[in-house]
């Protein structure tokens, strides 16, 4: 008996598109994804986690009679593709029962092409022994400070390769391969009835193993351990007062993420997340008018930047990667869209923010790379971090991220940090611990009075942005410069 | 390895255990642990009184951990074909051979005895069709629209098959179902939310909940500002559950012994046995709770039996991993999941009627730890916050940020209501004497 060779993914995609077209739907797409991740975590002298994960499958989304249906399966094969298409169509028909307004999409030119993250060293080509050894050496260096109070150390490496094949009934056929790398470590000091953590990371980026600079990681261990020990013995930060804050990019990126990224997701603005992640204060009636930030402050979305965690060739609806300003000279000028929300806004095209975190999930609007542009050369706000410190009579310098929380419409936020220093008369005086600050989004950004220059731009970001039901985890960069913000309320825990 | 075919659908415990048997038979390692997880999930999502997303997901994955002496590594793969499982097995072996020796390695578990009750499984929930979900969402959206509100929410159904086994002969497998409905109603500047989770779809009363949520959204309109400060608070079960989960996650013996936890004594040792909390706080791990009926085994194969964690305000037990238990000479506990807290017969409104003044919170949002050593958290109220005066709900108030020590919250509890299921937990409404609200927001 001669067995037929299994169909390739492209053949399966062609089959899915053919079946979708036969339904008479307005639009249909299929996305095959194969994801390979490698995780190493060392805790003290133990390799707590050494794991590889491979996940593959496909998802079919159909817009039929103005209503969405989606179905996904891990089983690859012609029969399963046909069943999954049929289930997606059945689901779209059921959606019609509760559909008052037909969903419409802005047009996109169907493209055929491919994209691969430019890397120098494939992270999966580097021996696992070498990676494990690096983490255990980092931990050993940190544990040398045990007699000074370091009680717990942790280091990690994360790598990923994601292969996507996207095809649509409009004729798109796009293949993309995304590489990801992310290293870091932390240690906890215990003293005087308290425990405090200090960490160091190289930000999560779409990049190869060249991101894992062992010499740099090892070189930071002494400083990080020493700062953890200083931090646990430091006085608590002031509370119930207002202060000037100097925020390093390693900290500021998360403030940008929560207070600029999420409020400008257009699906939130339209209430799609009202039940879970929340809506937004930045409603469409304010577009072009809302004074979001101080004059001279610009936020730019950019899925084309090198190394960005959300950088790609096309989004998950086949829309080309783009770069555009969301806030220009302090004014809200644009949103983050997919094809559906762009159509509701009356735009001619989407700016390409659709993202699905796996084959099993549906694409939705996600924050792309979204950064704070450096101060203009010679600009009124432009100053280096050293100049900001020298120019500050009293304030607090914050590095790294700590606790973070923001209300469901993205106004009231409270952030901690990883390390804090008191600034007095233009000098760093000593560390604080347990500093938090609380502000309203537009009030905070309008109090920015200094922006770092281009040479202080750092490409930080996150790999754990949760949104949607079922919950999806997205990843994005927030390149930014140091800023100084005046007159912000401080609060510490009791 | 002899696995040359996979069933089209891994639908039974027997099928799952057969796959595990075959993986173990094909292993070249000194020890191997296998975990298989298959799920079919469906979720309909609505907003603005109409469907915005409607998904069906089918997935199955296998995780294989191989050991050579104290060297171990895990490979996980989608269970798409025999080749993917074979590749995962060999990958775990390759990684384990080159892994460093683990000073905290523990031998594989011996076969375990599990309690008799199996996880609850409901055929109707497992087979819930898109049409059935669509009809329910349609009714909910019509209720909201007729009442002048806008509804957003989800209706979800899931069936799951989980099996574990190892080369020492341990085996466990079970199927389960879960259904949930959540709904937010917005009426101009009023908002309200509710959530129900059960092991069967038939236990959800989506229509009644939608009607209640819409009524409360109307009552939440025109909220007034209340100055931040310390106030008595009544936390609905969902709001309390968001906070209590942080307590459960931090009841860890190793962190306490190492001085990193709110359960650490300043002079060393732990606070087990101290009367830290209100005598009304009685916290358990209870997978057999009638509202949960979850599996009698944990993902690592350890039994999941009822345990008392806090009795009448006194912590009795901390989570001990197998390694830490061996070091401390006590029994491992397995993870503290699911958490259940004993309630009373009182409804949240009964608690309100006994309250002179205070704040009623229906939902806590974006709760994050500020200081793990003290277990202080921050978060926001959301979707229905009210001022209580003279035993009545007086008026809606604007949402508030809180910064609150959780040990102090549990210490100051002076009344508990009836326990309800919230997600994977069972928790009561509680009243606590002095909750610390620190700032206010205009967000609805």
**How confident is the model over A274-315, as pLDDT tens digits?**
999 999 999 999 999 999 999 999 999 999 999 999 999 999
Same domain, yes or no, for A123 and A65? Answer: yes
Tell whether B5 is within 8 A of chain A (Cβ). Answer: no
Q: Is residue A237 part of a domain?
A: no
Chain B nearest-CA distance from A56, in A, is 6
Beta-carbon count within 10 A of B22 CB = 19
Domain total for chain A? 2
Q: Is A125 on the interface with B (CB under 8 A)?
A: no
For range A321-340, the mean pLDDT: 98
User: Closest-CA residue in chain B for A258?
Assistant: B366
Regarding whether A87 and A214 lie in a shared domain, the answer is yes
In this structure, are A212 and A252 located in the same domain? no
Report the chain B residue with the minimal C-alpha distance to residue A416.
B370
Q: d(Cα A164, Cα A177) in Å, to the nearest integer? A: 6
Query: With contact defined as beta carbons under 8 Å apart, do B53 and B175 qualify?
Result: no
Binary contact (A50, B99; C-beta < 8 A)? yes
Tens of pLDDT, residue by residue over A181-233, are 999 999 999 999 999 999 999 999 999 999 999 999 999 999 999 999 999 99
Out of A232, A266, A301, a domain closes at: A232
State whether A302 and A370 are in the same domain: yes
Those of residues 221-260 in A touching chain B at CB distance below 8 A are none
- Structure confidence at residue B2 (pLDDT): 45
Report CA B60 to chain centroid distance, whole Å: 21
A274 touches chain B (CB under 8 A): yes
Cβ <8 Å between A69 and B183 = no
Structural domain contains residue A405: yes
Domain assignment of residue A467, given as a range: 242-491
Question: Shortest CB distance from B152 goes to which of A55, A100, A271?
Answer: A271
Domain boundary among A212, A232, A252: A232
Q: Cβ separation of A95 and B134 shorter than 8 Å? A: yes
Report pLDDT for B31. 98
- List per-residue pLDDT tens for chain B, 444 residues long: 445 555 656 678 999 999 999 999 999 999 999 999 999 999 999 999 999 999 999 999 999 999 999 999 999 999 988 889 999 999 999 999 999 999 999 999 999 999 998 999 999 999 999 999 999 999 999 999 999 999 999 999 999 999 999 999 999 999 999 999 999 999 999 999 999 999 999 999 999 999 999 999 999 999 999 999 999 999 999 999 999 999 999 999 999 999 999 999 988 999 999 999 999 999 999 999 999 999 999 999 999 999 999 999 999 999 999 999 999 999 999 999 999 999 999 999 999 999 999 999 999 999 999 998 999 999 999 999 999 999 999 999 999 999 999 999 999 999 999 999 999 999 999 999 999 999 999 999
Which of A213, A232, A251 marks a domain boundary? A232
Q: DSSP readout, A256-314?
A: HIIIIIGGGBHHHHTTTTTTTT---S--GGGTTT-B-S-TT--EEEESSSTT-TT--SB
- Domain membership of residue A15 (yes or no) is yes
Three-class SS state of B238? helix
CB contact under 8 A, A76 and B378: no
Q: How far does the CA of residue A46 sit from the closest CA of chain B (Å)?
A: 5
**pLDDT score of A5:** 75
- Is the pLDDT score of A444 beyond 60? yes
| Tokens standing for residue B428 | 């009561």
If asked whether residues A26 and A135 sit together in one domain, one would say yes
Residues of chain B found within 8 Å of residue A71, distances taken between Cβ atoms: 55-58
Residue B215 burial (C-beta neighbours within 10 Å; 0-12, 13-18, 19+): middle
- Nearest CB among A49, A190, A407 relative to B441 is that of A407
Architecture of domain B13-213: 2-Layer Sandwich (3.30)
pTM of the full predicted structure?
0.97
Give mean pLDDT, residues A253-269: 98
Same structural domain for residues A249 and A392? Answer: yes
Provide the token pair at B252: 């860890």
The minimal CB distance from B80 to the residues A45, A56, A402 is found for A56
Contact criterion met (CB < 8 Å) for B74 and A49:
yes
Distance from B20 to chain A by nearest Cα, in Å? 18
In this complex, the residue of A45, A97, A404 whose CB is nearest that of residue B368 is A404
Residues of chain B with CATH 3.30.2290.10: 13-213
Closest partner residue to A69 (CB to CB) among B54, B75, B401 is B54
H/E stretch holding B244: helix B237-249
Residue A158 sits in the same domain as residue A275 = no
- Residues in chain B closer than 8 A to A45 (CB atoms): 103
Q: Which two tokens stand for residue B126?
A: 């497992």
The verdict on B12 touching A (C-beta cutoff 8 Å) is: no
User: Quick check: B371 contacting A, CB < 8 Å?
Assistant: yes
Q: What distance in Å separates residue B385's CA from the closest CA in chain A?
A: 14
A249 and A362 belong to one structural domain: yes
**Residue A52: which CATH number?**
3.30.2290.10
pLDDT of residue A461: 98
Q: A275, B186: Cβ pair inside 8 Å? A: no
- Structural domain includes residue A354: yes
- Residue A399 and residue A312 share a domain: yes
* Domain identity same for A277 and A388: yes
SS3 A89: helix
Residues A99 and A247 in one domain: no
Residues A364 and A442 in one domain: yes
């Amino acid at each position: 008996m001669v067995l037929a060779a299994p169909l390739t993914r492209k053949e399966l995609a062609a089959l899915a598109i053919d079946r979708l077209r036969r339904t008479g739907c307005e639009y249909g797409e299929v996305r095959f994804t194969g994801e390979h991740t490698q995780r190493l975590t060392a805790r003290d002298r133990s390799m707590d986690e050494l794991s590889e994960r491979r996940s593959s499958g496909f998802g079919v989304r159909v817009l039929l009679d103005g209503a969405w249906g989606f179905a996904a399966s891990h089983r690859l094969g012609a029969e399963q593709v046909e069943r999954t298409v049929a289930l997606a169509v059945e689901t779209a028909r059921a959606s019609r029962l509760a559909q008052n307004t037909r969903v419409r999409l802005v047009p996109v030119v169907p493209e055929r092409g491919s994209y691969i993250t430019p890397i120098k060293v494939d992270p999966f080509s580097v021996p696992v022994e070498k990676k494990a050894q690096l983490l255990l050496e980092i931990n050993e260096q940190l544990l040398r400070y045990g007699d000074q109070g370091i009680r717990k150390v942790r280091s990690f490496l994360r790598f990923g390769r994601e292969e996507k094949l996207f095809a649509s009934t409009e004729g798109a056929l796009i293949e993309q391969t995304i590489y990801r790398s992310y290293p870091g470590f932390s240690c906890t000091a215990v003293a005087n009835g308290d425990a405090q953590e200090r960490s160091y990371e190289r930000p999560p980026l779409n990049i190869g193993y060249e991101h894992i600079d062992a010499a740099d990681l090892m070189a930071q261990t002494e400083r990080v351990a020493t700062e953890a020990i200083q931090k646990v013995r430091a006085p608590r930060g002031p509370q119930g007062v207002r202060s000037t804050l100097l925020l390093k990019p390693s900290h500021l990126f998360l403030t940008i993420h929560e207070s600029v990224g999420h409020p400008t997701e257009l699906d939130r603005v339209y209430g799609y997340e009202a039940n879970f992640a929340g809506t937004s204060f930045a409603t469409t009636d304010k577009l072009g008018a809302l004074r979001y930030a101080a004059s001279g402050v610009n936020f730019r979305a950019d899925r084309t930047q090198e190394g960005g965690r959300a950088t790609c060739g096309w989004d998950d609806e086949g829309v080309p990667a783009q770069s555009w300003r969301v806030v220009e000279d302090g004014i809200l000028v644009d949103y983050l869209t997919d094809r559906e929300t762009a159509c509701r806004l009356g735009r001619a095209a989407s700016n390409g923010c659709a993202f699905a975190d796996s084959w099993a999930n549906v694409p939705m609007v996600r924050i792309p790379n979204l950064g704070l542009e450096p101060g203009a050369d010679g600009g009124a706000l432009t100053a280096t971090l050293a100049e900001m410190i020298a120019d500050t009579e009293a304030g607090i310098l914050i590095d790294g991220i700590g606790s973070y929380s923001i209300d469901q419409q993205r106004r009231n936020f409270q952030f901690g940090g990883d390390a804090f220093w008191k600034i007095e008369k233009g000098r760093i005086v000593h560390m604080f611990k347990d500093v938090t600050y609380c502000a309203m989004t537009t009030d905070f950004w309008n109090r920015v009075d200094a922006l770092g220059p281009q040479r202080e731009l750092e490409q930080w970001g996150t790999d754990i942005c949760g949104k949607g039901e079922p919950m999806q985890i997205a990843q994005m960069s927030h390149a930014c410069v140091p800023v100084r913000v005046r007159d912000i309320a401080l609060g510490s825990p009791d | 390895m002899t696995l040359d075919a996979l069933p089209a659908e891994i639908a039974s415990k027997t099928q799952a255990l057969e796959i595990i048997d075959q993986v173990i038979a094909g292993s070249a390692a000194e020890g191997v642990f296998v975990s298989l997880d298959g799920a079919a999930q469906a979720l309909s999502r609505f907003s603005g009184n109409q469907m915005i997303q409607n998904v069906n997901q089918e997935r199955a994955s296998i995780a294989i951990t191989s050991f050579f002496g104290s060297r171990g590594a895990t490979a996980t793969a989608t269970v798409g074909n025999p080749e993917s499982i074979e590749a995962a097995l060999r990958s775990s072996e390759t990684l384990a051979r080159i892994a460093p020796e683990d000073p905290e390695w523990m031998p594989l578990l011996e076969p375990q005895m599990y309690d008799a009750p199996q996880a609850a499984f409901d055929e109707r929930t497992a087979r819930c069709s898109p049409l059935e979900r669509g009809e329910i969402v349609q009714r909910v959206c019509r209720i909201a629209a007729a009442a002048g509100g806008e509804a957003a929410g989800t209706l979800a159904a899931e069936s799951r098959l989980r099996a574990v086994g190892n080369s020492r002969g341990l085996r466990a497998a079970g199927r389960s179902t879960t259904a949930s409905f959540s709904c937010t109603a917005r009426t101009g500047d009023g908002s309200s939310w509710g959530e129900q989770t059960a092991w069967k779809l038939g236990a959800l009363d989506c229509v009644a909940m939608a009607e209640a949520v819409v009524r409360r959204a109307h009552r939440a309109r025109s909220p007034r500002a209340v100055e931040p400060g310390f106030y008595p608070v009544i936390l609905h079960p969902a709001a309390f559950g968001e906070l209590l989960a942080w307590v459960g996650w931090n009841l860890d013996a190793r962190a306490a012994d190492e001085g990193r936890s709110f359960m650490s004594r300043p002079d060393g040792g732990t606070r087990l046995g101290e009367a830290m909390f209100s005598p009304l706080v009685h916290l358990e791990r209870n997978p057999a709770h009638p509202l949960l009926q979850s599996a009698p085994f944990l993902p690592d194969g350890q039994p999941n039996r009822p345990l008392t964690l806090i009795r009448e305000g006194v912590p009795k037990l901390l989570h001990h991993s197998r390694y830490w238990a061996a070091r401390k000479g006590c029994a491992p506990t397995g993870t503290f999941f699911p958490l259940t807290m004993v309630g009373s017969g009182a409804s949240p409104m009964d608690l309100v009627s006994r309250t002179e003044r205070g704040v009623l919170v229906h939902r806590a949002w974006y709760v994050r730890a500020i200081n793990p050593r003290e277990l202080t958290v921050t978060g926001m109220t959301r979707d229905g916050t009210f001022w209580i005066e003279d035993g009545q709900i007086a008026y809606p108030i604007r949402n508030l940020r809180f910064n609150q020590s959780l040990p102090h919250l549990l210490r100051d509890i002076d009344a508990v209501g009836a326990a309800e299921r919230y997600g994977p937990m069972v928790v009561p409404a509680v009243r606590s004497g002095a909750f610390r609200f620190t700032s206010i927001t205009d967000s609805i």
